[in-house]
Amino acid sequence: MSNGSFPPSPGRPGRRGGTLAVVLTALVPACLAGWLIWDSTGDSKSGVAPLPTADSTSIAPSRSGGASGAATRDPEGDKGDPGRSLAGKVVVIDPGHNPHNRDHTSEIARSVDIGTAKKECDTTGTATNSGYSEASFTLDVSRRVRTLLQDRGAKVVFTQDGDRAYGPCVDERAEIGNKAHADAVVSVHADGAAAGQRGFHVILPASVRGGDADTSSITAPSRRLGKRLVSGFEAATGDAPANYMGDGDGLKVRDDLGGLNLSTVPKVFIECGNMRDPKDAAQLTDAAWRQRAARGIALGITDFLNG
């Protein structure tokens, strides 16, 4: 039974099919042209950047920090800046103490010559009230610093990486930096002062001469390194210099540390905080804060090595 409409014969389009074909034929080139225009300009709503052209100009984001516009640069954030590269530089990182020292008390108690006196090979370091050891803290922060500096192209040498039975002794720690002909050495520590004493500080070598100790050539560059560390650490962590050390500038000169006395290359210690103060301890035991501390140390070293 017929309903009054007939399908088109094979190979011969009917009226409706012919109309559709004409419409598609007209639309396809227009759609293709529109897609090509979109692809060359990018989709601002989706965040897709336009493809670069010979006339395009790349504008790098500003790296000036703070409301004052001071040049506080982040070693992670400015890898593309050739002026911040550490290629060809040697940095020795000295994680203070050793997690295994506590199992070798007699070995680390033996005396070694620090040039002007005798001192124990090493110590166990301090710990928070909850038992988080300084030696664990220094290794964690030092490894984070190493990653940041290597990303900038530096060669990084460790005095120990938790891979020794104990130590090394303070005289060997200095010798590792000397033999590496390091451009900078930073010994990472945390303090064990009384509760209520808060903040970080950097220890500089005093001018000493005696036995194998002669710091006359390194006191000036070590001070410059120390100042850069104070600035970088404060910028990265937001912490203030120690409220119980020196005149509040975060710097302390000492003549009783073998790691400094025996160094022939620029070297400083940084005490990142006070493990015996509850507020400082809360930071030192926080992984996110330790990453900020590592960035501050890496920033200070980078600033020093870039002059």
pLDDT per residue as tens digits for the range 17-74: 444 343 334 443 444 344 333 333 333 323 322 222 222 222 222 222 332 334 445 5
**Per-residue pLDDT at 83:** 62
Mean pLDDT score across all residues of the chain: 81
- φ, ψ of residue 222 in degrees (nearest 5): -65, -35
Domain that holds residue 220: 88-305
Angle between helices 134-151 and 287-305 (to 10 degrees): 50
Is residue 165 within 8 A of residue 220, CB to CB? The reply is: no
pLDDT band at 247 (very low <50, low <70, confident <90, very high): confident
**Per-residue pLDDT at 49:** 29
Q: Which two tokens stand for residue 117?
A: 């006196």
Residue 266 lies in a domain: yes
HSE toward the beta carbon, residue 142, CA cutoff 13 A: 30
Collapsing DSSP states into helix, strand and coil, what is residue 236? Answer: helix
- φ, ψ of residue 204 in degrees (nearest 5): -105, 150
| Cα separation, 122 vs 159, whole angstroms | 13
Residue 238 lies in a domain: yes
pLDDT per residue as tens digits for the range 170-201: 999 999 999 999 999 999 999 999 999 999 99
Is residue 271 within 8 A of residue 201, CB to CB? The reply is: yes
Q: Assess whether the previous peptide bond of 168 is cis (omega < 30° from 0).
A: yes
Residue 231 lies in a domain: yes
CATH number of the structural domain spanning residue 102: 3.40.630.40
**Per-residue pLDDT at 86:** 98
- pLDDT of 242 > 60? The answer is yes
In the chain, the number of structural domains is 1
Higher pLDDT, 61 or 134: 134
**Per-residue pLDDT at 208:** 97
Is residue 300 within 8 A of residue 74, CB to CB? The reply is: no
Catalytic annotation, residues: 271
pLDDT band at 140 (very low <50, low <70, confident <90, very high): very high
Residue 179 lies in a domain: yes
Q: What percent of the chain has pLDDT over 90?
A: 71
**Per-residue pLDDT at 84:** 87
**Per-residue pLDDT at 82:** 57
**Per-residue pLDDT at 113:** 97
Which helix or strand (DSSP H or E) is residue 210 part of?
Answer: strand 209-210
Q: What percent of the chain has pLDDT over 70?
A: 73
Instruction: Tell me how far CA of residue 140 lies from CA of 241, 258, 294, in angstroms.
Output: 22, 23, 9
Angle at CA of residue 264, ends 262 and 270, nearest 5°: 70
Q: Which two tokens stand for residue 256?
A: 């009783």
Residue 197 lies in a domain: yes
Residue 62 lies in a domain: no
pLDDT band at 7 (very low <50, low <70, confident <90, very high): very low
Residue 60 lies in a domain: no
pLDDT band at 250 (very low <50, low <70, confident <90, very high): very high
Residue 230 lies in a domain: yes
Q: Can you list the alpha helix ranges (DSSP code H) found in the chain? A: 15-41, 105-109, 134-151, 170-179, 219-237, 258-261, 278-284, 287-305
CA-only gyration radius of the chain, Å: 31
